[in-house]
Amino acid sequence: MNLNELLAGHHHHVLQGDPETPITAGVCLDADRVAPGALFMAVPGHREGGPELIGPALSRGAVAVLVDGAAGGPPALPSWAPELAPTGAQVKEACVVQVSDTRVAAARIASRYYGEPGREMDMIAITGTNGKTSVSCMVESVLRIAEGAEVGVIGTGGSRIGDDPIPMPMSVLTTPESPDFQYLLGCMRDRGTGSVVLEATSMGLLTHRIDHAFIDVGVFTNLTQDHLDDHGTMENYRDAKLRLFQGLCRHAVVNADDPVGARIQADMPGAVTTYALDAEADYRATDLVTDASGTRFTLQHGGGKYPAAVSTPGRFSVANALATVAACHHLGHDLDDLVAALDRMPPVPGRFERFTTPSGTSVIVDFAHSPDSLEKVLSTVREFAAGRVITVFGCGGDRDTTKRAEMGDIAGRHSDLCVLTSDNPRTEDPETILDHVAHGLAPTGTPFERRADRRDAIAFALSAARPEDLVLVAGKGSEPYQIVGEQLIPFSDMATVRELTRP
């Protein structure tokens, strides 16, 4: 396609060059991924590809550049132009186009470049503080079990079609940037995938990464404190989540037990399906019975009652199952088959993932990294733990500091022993993070150890545990790395547990 076709209908100024320039080698935000014939979209603040990297992008063969400009401002060459003297030939030959917001334009352009793949598949996007990964995996599992369908998955665990991963550069982004996101959708469409399920993070929504995805069902799970380092206030965080339900999806499936659910119903009258454990809703769960093997319940919908079960204990797991069934049923899948598939689902990696050591100690690895999620997991394990509960956890560095003491208090109130350790310390001093957590934990009176090295912390907890005890390793779930400084260092909680307990 040429640049004019990609920008059709989007207000822009051609600053120089031929807008009929064909784009033959993709659309990129990262300068080091530009190939000859590509369009480079210079997003301000994007570390791998902001305006300051236009020169390197041109030198790698970009034939066109998209730049940011004030909305409604006069067209003019941006301030970076004089800095490109070393690549003057490429500057003169390249088409340069100015738009008011490069991120907004990038999403439209990427979708068009790959042929608007979201139009050709059932698209399900899940947002909320907790439950995104679990609901994504549940949707994939029930559709595979009930219908033998291969489902595309985009989220925390990477991107794949069924069991086949789609190779992509390593990234910590749960919701990929729009060019990568649309590329993945294109791969899934080309493989004949009928359904795609994706995790829509607050930052992914705020930065327009999944605009123009033509989402059929948007799922809202809940809203609790998290990511205030990105959004500043809970109101801003909520509003970022709500973008999914303000024109990005055709139908909403919302948790009626969360107050934000009512806001979504008001925003999308006649296009909302509700689920709940406590409130009145289209899909409800009653008669919950929880033990170490999972939770049994009755699913009620449309006057019918369906015996159901999930292999993960806890109310949060039942809520995730309701969201899964409601979304898939709305898309036309048989309700009886969906309910029957629930208790046959494999465990979600890193979400209440269980392991028993050779000595008999129970170990649970869970992603719980916010106050609400940690409290829910610990409250659940307390329902069936035969002995002491030993909790290994930490908090991320360079992130919301206000939740650290609160998480320490929660762990202390629900545990018999805590081991404080590093999560993803990033560029922050790990000991400073542990100080913040200990400030909330110490007043509970629960004994605790400080072991900043995560492997050492897990080893200590396992050595302190008796056969009847339960060890919860919380915070990272299935993440295959730790972020220390600017580096991604390979590390897996469950693999570490297995290695340390190997006979």
- pLDDT (tens digit per residue) in 79-116: 445 444 344 445 668 999 999 999 999 999 999 999 99
Q: Side by side, which strands form the sheet with 158-161?
A: 164-165, 158-161, 151-155, 195-199, 122-127, 215-220, 249-255, 272-276, 283-291, 294-301, 304-310
Its pTM stands at 0.87
Angle between helix axes 335-342 and 132-147 (nearest 10 degrees) is 120
- H or E segment and range at residue 227: none
Task: Name which of 351, 297, 449, 395 is nearest 135 in CA terms.
Answer: 351
The whole-angstrom separation of Cα 39 and Cα 29 is 9
Over residues 444-490, the pLDDT tens digits come to 999 999 999 999 999 999 999 999 999 999 999 989 899 999 899 99
Note the pLDDT of residue 227: 59
Quote the Cα angle for 55-42-185, to 5°. 125
Report residue 14: phi and psi, to 5°.
-85, 115
Over residues 25-80, the pLDDT tens digits come to 999 999 999 999 999 999 998 988 999 999 999 999 999 999 998 533 444 444 44
The first and second tokens of residue 207, run together, are 């930065």
Note the pLDDT of residue 92: 63
The whole-angstrom separation of Cα 126 and Cα 254 is 10
Note the pLDDT of residue 308: 98
Note the pLDDT of residue 463: 97
- H or E segment and range at residue 178: helix 178-190
Q: How many residues does the chain have?
A: 503
Note the pLDDT of residue 229: 64
Of the chain, the percentage scoring pLDDT greater than 90 comes to 84
Note the pLDDT of residue 444: 98
Distance from the Cα of residue 379 to its chain's centroid: 24
Q: Residues with Cβ < 8 Å from 424, sequence gap 6 or more? A: 396, 397, 476, 482, 483, 484
Q: Which residues pair with 291 in a beta bridge?
A: 294
Over residues 259-308, the pLDDT tens digits come to 999 999 999 999 999 999 999 999 999 999 998 889 999 999 999 999 99
Q: Side by side, which strands form the sheet with 39-41?
A: 13-16, 95-99, 64-68, 39-41, 27-28
Of the pLDDT bands very low, low, confident and very high (cuts 50, 70, 90), residue 228 is low
Over residues 345-360, the pLDDT tens digits come to 998 889 899 999 999 9
Average pLDDT of the segment spanning 158-169: 92
Q: Residues with Cβ < 8 Å from 378, sequence gap 6 or more? A: 389, 391, 410, 411, 414, 415, 472
Half-sphere exposure of 134 (CA within 13 A, CB side): 30
Average pLDDT value over all residues in the chain? 92
